[in-house]
């Protein structure tokens, strides 16, 4: 029972389900050119947020796979890529990487013991951290999309 509950809680945290628009759909329906826009005063474009979220998702996947990824020495290294995609193809590839890493994280949330410790953290703690990280940035994406008048995604937004 506890394992099933942990899996359910983690799955909801990773997807954002029942908290906000689902993390996996927050970028859906965006035109690749709009994804590179950065309104005055905004610290990041949607494309930068997508690449940042993907960077850390992939980092966590490596960690969960037993590898020893190095954390960047400076925060700016966790923000790869330019302000916007150069082509639709670049945008599509970035979206595929984002979704692939998200699916892999979900698989890991159902895998071996979540309480297995690796270094200073358990798998559960690491999965919780990336879920919180994604949730934080999903909120930024929603806000930026609202500013750019491209909200909600086709699946809808959480409104009432």
- Residue 47 within any structural domain of the chain: yes
More confident: 119 or 2: 119
Residue 9 banded pLDDT, cuts 50, 70, 90: confident
pLDDT at site 110: 86
CATH code where residue 106 lies = 1.20.120.450
- Residue 154 within any structural domain of the chain: no
pLDDT at site 15: 79
The yes-or-no verdict on residue 149 having pLDDT over 60 is yes
Q: What is the mean pLDDT of residues 14-37?
A: 89
Residue 155 banded pLDDT, cuts 50, 70, 90: confident
Judge contact between 57 and 101, C-beta under 8 A.
yes
For the packed helices 88-108 and 123-147, what is the interaxial angle rounded to 10 degrees?
A: 150
- Name the residue range of residue 36's domain: 2-147
- Residue 28 within any structural domain of the chain: yes
Number of domains in the chain: 1
The C-alpha angle 76, 79, 81, rounded to 5 degrees, equals 120
Distant-in-sequence, close-in-space partners of 60: CB < 8 Å, separation ≥ 6 = 105, 126, 127, 129, 130
- Residue 160 within any structural domain of the chain: no
Predicted confidence (pLDDT) per residue in 98-109, tens digit: 999 999 999 999
Predicted confidence (pLDDT) per residue in 50-104, tens digit: 999 999 999 999 999 999 999 999 988 999 999 999 999 999 999 999 999 999 9
Polymer length of the chain = 160
- Residue 72 within any structural domain of the chain: yes
Q: What is the mean pLDDT of residues 26-45?
A: 96
- DSSP letter at 112 equals S
Predicted confidence (pLDDT) per residue in 101-133, tens digit: 999 999 999 876 888 898 899 999 999 999 999
- Residue 89 within any structural domain of the chain: yes
- Residue 157 within any structural domain of the chain: no
DSSP element (H, E) containing 117 = strand 117-118
Predicted confidence (pLDDT) per residue in 129-145, tens digit: 999 999 999 999 999 99
**What are the distances in angstroms from CA 88 to CA 31, 47, 80?**
8, 12, 18
- Residue 143 within any structural domain of the chain: yes
Distant-in-sequence, close-in-space partners of 151: CB < 8 Å, separation ≥ 6 = 142, 145, 157
């Amino acid at each position: 029972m506890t394992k099933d509950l942990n899996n359910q809680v983690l799955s909801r945290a990773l997807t954002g389900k029942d908290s906000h628009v689902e993390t996996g759909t927050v970028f859906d329906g965006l035109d690749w050119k709009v994804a590179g826009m950065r309104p005055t005063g905004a610290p990041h474009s949607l494309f930068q947020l997508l690449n940042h979220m993907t960077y850390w998702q992939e980092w966590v996947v490596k960690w969960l796979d037993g590898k020893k990824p190095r954390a960047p020495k400076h925060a700016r290294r966790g923000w790869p890529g330019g302000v916007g995609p150069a082509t639709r193809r670049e945008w599509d590839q970035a979206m595929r990487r984002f979704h692939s890493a998200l699916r892999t994280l979900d698989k890991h949330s159902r895998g071996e013991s979540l309480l297995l410790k690796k270094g200073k953290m358990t798998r559960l703690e690491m999965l919780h951290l990336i879920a919180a990280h994604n949730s934080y940035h999903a909120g930024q994406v929603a806000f930026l999309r609202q500013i750019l008048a491209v909200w909600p995604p086709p699946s809808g937004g959480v409104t009432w």
